[in-house]
Amino acid sequence: MSVTYVDAIRDAQEKLLRDDPRVFLYGQDISQFGGAFKATKGLAEAFPGRVLDSPISEDAMIGMAVGAAIEGMRPIVEMQFADFSSIAFNQIVNQAATHFYRTGVPVPLTVRLPSGGTPGSGPFHSQSMESLYAHYPGLIVVTPATVSDAYHMLLDAVALDDPVIYCEHKFLYRWLKAPRINGDHLPIGKARITRPGKHATVVAYSAMVHEAVRAAERLKEEGSWEIEVVDLRSVKPLDMDTVLASVARTGRLLALGEAFPWGGVTAEVVARVCAEGFHLLDAPPRRLNSRDTPVPYHPKLWAAHRPTPESICIALRELLNF
Amino acid sequence: MLRARLLENKLSSLYKAGKIVGGVYIGKGQEAVSASLGASLVKGRDIFAPLIRDQAGRTAFGEPMIDCTRTYLGSVLGPMRGRDGNIHRGRPLEGMPAMISHLGAEVSVVAGMLVARRLKGVLQGVVGATCVGDGATSTGSFHEGLNMAAVENLPMVVLVGNNQFAYSTPTDRQFACDDLLDRAKGYGVAGHSVDGTDMLACAKVIGRAVELAREGGGPQMVVARLLRLSGHGEHDDGSYVPPVLKTGHLGRDCLETGIAQMIENGFATVDEVERWKIDFTAEVQAAVAQAQQEPTPDPWVEDWRACSSEPGGNI
């Protein structure tokens, strides 16, 4: 028996529905159909009236969640794909994100964003939106990379009084498995050292954590390099203590992300390390993101659009040889 | 209506005297429509999400006048504490969400508040209402929200004040249907039409719409025909409004017709109305004076936190 990443998301929602009468789920095709990725499979039957199909109305889905949260509920909204949250952008960044600051009334809602690329998904079913939402004050943005984090961070997200953007990576849904959900977990806002090392630090999040580990293994075989991989887990809050401590050990930084290259999480990490830990650096810090084009459809183009173990190794070799 | 008009006259003067920063947005000419809705709702039970021309509805719903003057004048004792201003105010926990500027966005918020009440089993007898203008009906947010409310068959009233202009844009550049009321059928909701310059008609039609929603009739869309008797805000003289509209039927001042209706029907005497004017003017003066004496926000003690929680201790 093993648990997949998407199972963990489903199971977390089941636990939330069971334990907390304030929780309900709202999204497209999530009721009887169980969701486009089956992340809500069987939940409508188990919890009648609390797993609701929405019209194709992303704006209204979030507006509805804000209203419900004002009234004391804990809605979880499933966007069918993160890309479609662009339609809900206004309600997320202007309604939900500003609400506590303006009125003093928190709006505890969780937006699940099936994020990132998979082969053949193309420009509109592959996007990574975390940087956009992290830009706005008033939102918590989490990016679980492991099965256990997918589970625990969804529970933690719903427990928070603030709006949480929960970015779940579609590539990990069925590919990533674990024997079981770990009992221990870190709180939101704490990064994890996924793989300890001493020659360079890769700061990554979501699916890129696994690509970074692959690259680190190759470099170990190739030249006995010991690469440290830091999994941010949440991009906002950003755990700079863990990042800076790692850079202090290694002296070298590669910030890695699947999102588009202009600005974003990797730029923020590099900027903060330069500002807060310039003296720790033995080489100019590097960033590696996707290419600066829409996410392409064809698997051959897609595989070269996002960072891969090969391109990560190239960036790391340059960093190590500086 | 009268209280709101006198309050907004004062706000306009304060703005023109440079005492209010940002802007002042008034509901002159829309008081009959707005107040009819506010007065049909019950504070403490119902939900009311006003828009920018709803001072009369806010007052009728039960928003204290001091909330208005504190927010316009930036008192930290007001509901928005200087963090937001003018008409962007509310008390969400008292059933009065604080609007954002993006039009149509409150429709789904009210729907969500009602869905929450349904899930909690306390929806019985509750009505949620919101106001929009003709311009907001062009937004995706309005469409999504009203369609959702219809799908959920919520006890909701969406009041469209067709005041002929969205800022400066006339209705023939806003929509191509003959009457916004035609849209009600498309959404599968009940539609009501009313002359927004006629106070008694507004009270009757809007009151009936609220009643129908309360009785389980699902969402009700009310379209009120009227004319905005001011600019978009007090910075705008509204010079683009053709004189023929101002002198026509829609240009009637609903407050004047309302007072005449009160007197004709024996609801009030001329003397009573005059006394109200004196009393309400004093009330406005007191609310302004109090807010002006109160502390404004201090950036040095402001906590500058956008989240209520601080997971991990650092955002």
DSSP A80-108: SSGGGGGGGHHIIIIIIHHHHHHHS----
List, edge to edge, every strand of the sheet that includes A164-169. A51-53, A23-27, A74-78, A110-115, A164-169, A140-142, A234-236
Task: Using the 3D structure, point to which of A153, A178, A203 is the last residue of a domain.
Answer: A178
Return the CATH number at A248: 3.40.50.920
Of A73, A102, A190, the CB nearest to B312: A190
Give the three-class secondary structure for A7: helix
Return the CATH number at A140: 3.40.50.970
Supply the pLDDT for residue A1: 77
B122 in contact with chain A, both atoms CB, cutoff 8 A: no
B114 in contact with chain A, both atoms CB, cutoff 8 A: yes
The answer to whether residue A185 is domain-embedded is no
On whether both A172 and A230 belong to a single domain, the answer is: no
The answer to whether residue B260 is domain-embedded is yes
On whether both A151 and A269 belong to a single domain, the answer is: no
Residues 169 through 228 of chain B touching chain A, CB cutoff 8 Å: none
The answer to whether residue A151 is domain-embedded is yes
CA distance B81 to chain A (A): 8
The answer to whether residue B91 is domain-embedded is no
Contacts of B70 in chain A (CB under 8 A): none
Residue to test with chain A: of B141, B143, B151, B187, most A Cβ within 10 A:
B141
CA distance A36 to chain B (A): 21
Q: Which residues contact A171 (CB under 8 A, 6 or more apart)?
A: A116, A117, A118, A207
**Position B314 pLDDT exceeds 50:** no
The answer to whether residue B163 is domain-embedded is yes
Rounded CA-CA distance A268/A284 in Å is 15
Q: Which residues contact B68 (CB under 8 A, 6 or more apart)?
A: B7, B11, B55, B58, B89, B287
On whether both A196 and A162 belong to a single domain, the answer is: no
pLDDT, tens digit, 9 for 90 and up, residues B283-301: 999 999 999 999 999 999 9
Task: Using the 3D structure, point to which of A178, A212, A227 is the last residue of a domain.
Answer: A178
Supply the pLDDT for residue A277: 97
Mean pLDDT rounded to a whole number for chain A: 97
The answer to whether the CB atoms of A63 and B145 lie below 8 A apart is: yes
The answer to whether residue A184 is domain-embedded is no
Please tell me which residue of chain B has the smallest CA distance to A164: B307
**Range of A308's domain?**
192-320
- Structural domain tally of chain A? 2
pLDDT, tens digit, 9 for 90 and up, residues A48-88: 999 999 999 999 999 999 999 999 999 999 999 999 999 99
The answer to whether the CB atoms of B83 and A75 lie below 8 A apart is: no
Cα A106 off chain centre by: 22
Rounded CA-CA distance A184/A278 in Å is 34
Supply the pLDDT for residue B247: 97
The answer to whether the CB atoms of A102 and B112 lie below 8 A apart is: no
The answer to whether the CB atoms of A138 and B314 lie below 8 A apart is: no
On whether both A164 and A258 belong to a single domain, the answer is: no
**Position B114 pLDDT exceeds 50:** yes
The answer to whether the CB atoms of B309 and A105 lie below 8 A apart is: no
On whether both A232 and A83 belong to a single domain, the answer is: no
User: Which whole-number Å values give the CA distances from B66 to A49, A58, B57, B89, B91, in the listed order?
Assistant: 41, 36, 15, 12, 13
SS (H, E, C) A230-264: EECCEEECCCHHHHHHHHHHHCCEEEECCCCCCCH
**Range of B139's domain?**
25-52+99-273
The answer to whether residue B93 is domain-embedded is no
The answer to whether residue A129 is domain-embedded is yes
Contacts of B130 in chain A (CB under 8 A): none
Of B101, B112, B114, the CB nearest to A65: B112
The answer to whether the CB atoms of B107 and A234 lie below 8 A apart is: no
On whether both A9 and A146 belong to a single domain, the answer is: yes
Return the CATH number at B216: 3.40.50.970
Please tell me which residue of chain B has the smallest CA distance to A101: B306
pLDDT, tens digit, 9 for 90 and up, residues A121-164: 999 999 999 999 999 999 999 999 999 999 999 999 999 999 99
Residue positions counted in chain A = 322
The first and second tokens of residue A305, run together, are: 């659009």
Give the three-class secondary structure for A288: strand
Rounded CA-CA distance B4/B54 in Å is 9
**Torsion (CA) A143, A146, A150, A156 in degrees, nearest 10:** -80
Of A64, A70, A188, the CB nearest to B108: A64
pLDDT, tens digit, 9 for 90 and up, residues B50-91: 999 999 999 999 999 999 999 999 999 999 999 999 999 999
The answer to whether the CB atoms of A64 and B305 lie below 8 A apart is: no
Of B81, B101, B117, the CB nearest to A71: B117
Mean pLDDT rounded to a whole number for chain B: 97
On whether both A129 and A269 belong to a single domain, the answer is: no
Contacts of A98 in chain B (CB under 8 A): 100, 306
Of A70, A189, A239, the CB nearest to B92: A70
Contacts of B145 in chain A (CB under 8 A): 57, 59-60, 63
pLDDT, tens digit, 9 for 90 and up, residues B132-188: 999 999 999 999 999 999 999 999 999 999 999 999 999 999 999 999 999 999 999
Is the Cβ–Cβ distance between A176 and A210 less than 8 Å? Answer: yes
The first and second tokens of residue A173, run together, are: 């849904």
Which among A16, A50, A12 has a CA at the least distance from the CA of A30?
Answer: A50
On whether both A286 and A315 belong to a single domain, the answer is: yes
CA distance A63 to chain B (A): 5
Contacts of B120 in chain A (CB under 8 A): 71-73
The answer to whether residue A183 is domain-embedded is no
CB atoms within 10 A of CB A179: 9
Residue B47 phi/psi, 5-degree rounding, is -120, 135
Please tell me which residue of chain B has the smallest CA distance to A137: B306
The answer to whether the CB atoms of A237 and B105 lie below 8 A apart is: no
Rounded CA-CA distance A299/B171 in Å is 49
**What band does B315 get if pLDDT is binned at 50, 70 and 90?**
very low
Which among A88, A70, A90 has a CA at the least distance from the CA of A80?
Answer: A88
Rounded CA-CA distance B184/B172 in Å is 19
On whether both A315 and A266 belong to a single domain, the answer is: yes
**Position B312 pLDDT exceeds 60:** no
Rounded CA-CA distance B207/B213 in Å is 10
Q: Which residues contact B209 (CB under 8 A, 6 or more apart)?
A: B157, B159, B190, B192, B220, B222
**What band does A270 get if pLDDT is binned at 50, 70 and 90?**
very high
On whether both A165 and A24 belong to a single domain, the answer is: yes
The answer to whether residue B61 is domain-embedded is no
Concatenated DSSP letters of chain B? -HHHHHHHHHHHHHHHTT-S-S-----TT-HHHHHHHHHHS-TTTSEEE--TT-HHHHHHHT--HHHHHHHHHT-TTSTTTTSS-TT---BGGGTB----SSTTHHHHHHHHHHHHHHHHT--TT--EEEEEETGGGGSHHHHHHHHHHHHTT--EEEEEEE-SEETTEEGGGT--SS-TTHHHHHHT-EEEEEETT-HHHHHHHHHHHHHHHHTT---EEEEEE---SS-SSTT---TTS-HHHHHSGGGS-HHHHHHHHHHHTTSS-HHHHHHHHHHHHHHHHHHHHHHHHSPPP-TTT----S-S--GGG--
Rounded CA-CA distance A108/A69 in Å is 6
Strands (E), chain A: 3-4, 23-27, 51-53, 74-78, 110-115, 140-142, 164-169, 177-178, 192-195, 200-204, 227-231, 234-236, 253-256, 286-288
The residues that bridge with A195 in the sheet, in sequence order, are A229
CA distance A189 to chain B (A): 4
Cα A268 off chain centre by: 16
- Structural domain tally of chain B? 1
Please tell me which residue of chain B has the smallest CA distance to A73: B116
Q: Which residues contact B34 (CB under 8 A, 6 or more apart)?
A: B4, B27, B50, B53, B54, B55, B56, B57, B58, B60, B131, B159, B161
On whether both A11 and A79 belong to a single domain, the answer is: yes
Q: Are strands A192-195 and A227-231 parallel, antiparallel or unpaired?
A: antiparallel
pLDDT, tens digit, 9 for 90 and up, residues A173-206: 999 999 999 877 899 999 999 999 999 999 999 9
B312 in contact with chain A, both atoms CB, cutoff 8 A: yes
The first and second tokens of residue B314, run together, are: 């650092």
The answer to whether residue B206 is domain-embedded is yes
The answer to whether residue B9 is domain-embedded is no
B105 in contact with chain A, both atoms CB, cutoff 8 A: yes
Please tell me which residue of chain A has the smallest CA distance to B112: A64
The answer to whether the CB atoms of B110 and A67 lie below 8 A apart is: yes
Residue A117 phi/psi, 5-degree rounding, is -90, 150
CB atoms within 10 A of CB B44: 8
Task: Using the 3D structure, point to which of A125, A150, A178 is the last residue of a domain.
Answer: A178
The answer to whether residue B176 is domain-embedded is yes
pLDDT, tens digit, 9 for 90 and up, residues B224-238: 999 999 999 999 999
Rounded CA-CA distance A181/B280 in Å is 65
Which among B77, B53, B48 has a CA at the least distance from the CA of B4?
Answer: B53
Residue B260 phi/psi, 5-degree rounding, is -60, -40
On whether both A51 and A166 belong to a single domain, the answer is: yes
What count of CB pairs under 8 Å joins A to B?
168
The first and second tokens of residue B257, run together, are: 């017709």
**What band does A223 get if pLDDT is binned at 50, 70 and 90?**
confident
Rounded CA-CA distance A262/A259 in Å is 9
Supply the pLDDT for residue A185: 84
The first and second tokens of residue A34, run together, are: 């169980």
